[in-house]
Structure 1
């Protein structure tokens, strides 16, 4: 059987969501045959890369290139995403070697990194779910723009959300205020439209009514909280502007599971190897 097509510049070997307890650490070491990206979703600590100390906090991203010593520790409970890959292209490696090994990752880049991790998990469970080439090319694009393009706009946390209408002022407002109480009449008053005209205008651009679009924004954010945080279900509901009762109802209807069941279906993957290359064997180095 022919092996699946892989990206010619970056080969993703492994990924995992890893939850660290307070005080846990990875001692100084280096990789001889692969590179690594560590993204801190929550928590605080410190990394040392090639002798240079960096603060680790929510949104920090660290590139550990092969042959460069690195270590990290967490002073509070932390949640991270970890990727191990091989840079196969000489020019790409040279560019990344010149980049700063740490940066703040937010907005579209952070949303995309979570997406590549989720796609990897789905692909491991069902090889037909996603093509490895799509995951690898996506990760490569995120990695390059995150580390090399200083002019990138990272302010829109939902740039990965369906793009139709992203330049629409009503869309921008709802993405920025999704947790507030928002009604059609309130939006119509705010933007100076008749409610019926607003529905038609918005639907023509996005294929949804404003309130339907708001529900999609809230659902995507709720899924993200369930997947990548340890927030209580009640707090997740509150953060997306829903009552707990309605939150449970809409998640059950749309995802076929209760919020706790949806989280539980993913939680067993925390701290587990998601291997995308059969020849790669991960070595766990976490010291409690």
Structure 2
């Protein structure tokens, strides 16, 4: 993910992308026929292709690829997708179709990754895919949990092993506006920032802004500001010798309100939290 983020921004985006709601529609292993070919303009779902044998092509947007055995391809939702055969030695492939939504956005609109990764352990991956296929056919009450767990493992591994991972914060106008609001809140963390001020930054009516903000972040504006303050407070508690009263002052909060807010956010009193982790030595924190 972007290296120019500070710690609180990174924490937010880690939690934000983890809100993706998964829904798998198909999973199978197929030795495709020679007639296997199709084009899908702005496909509404993601495709995962794990190539086991044979040859063919896939196209994502205007780029054409010729997958090899042991490679895992992701054809992201919202992209123009095409695929087909190039000989009688056709693909034998594990595949699945799924959506991964955060609100109205597709996860891989927000997070841009490499088009494919080489699998570190193809046999282990194929065993997992066999489990995925079995759970897709299962009537067990917990089968959807199992499907989501495997898909999440696939997605996490794919992101971690991608050569390129970019956060596309301009994927929609709403996304860009809300990112500007989040940056403003972080820059004014010690101030009493009003909803009117934030709604003007987003160019929304205040009532609409509150709903849009909560849909985007999962928090109300005050809840998100308190989240930012508790993250900053945790940093102060573990890397400085500032006392709790000084930390509250630096965050623009009354001591009693700060202590209550911190406990609500973390489950710990500030002094108890300080005891959880060893403090960074002063000569390190100064650099």
TM range (shorter): 0.3 to 0.5
Q: Which has the higher helix share?
A: 2
Structure with larger RCO (C-alpha < 8 A, sep 6+): 1
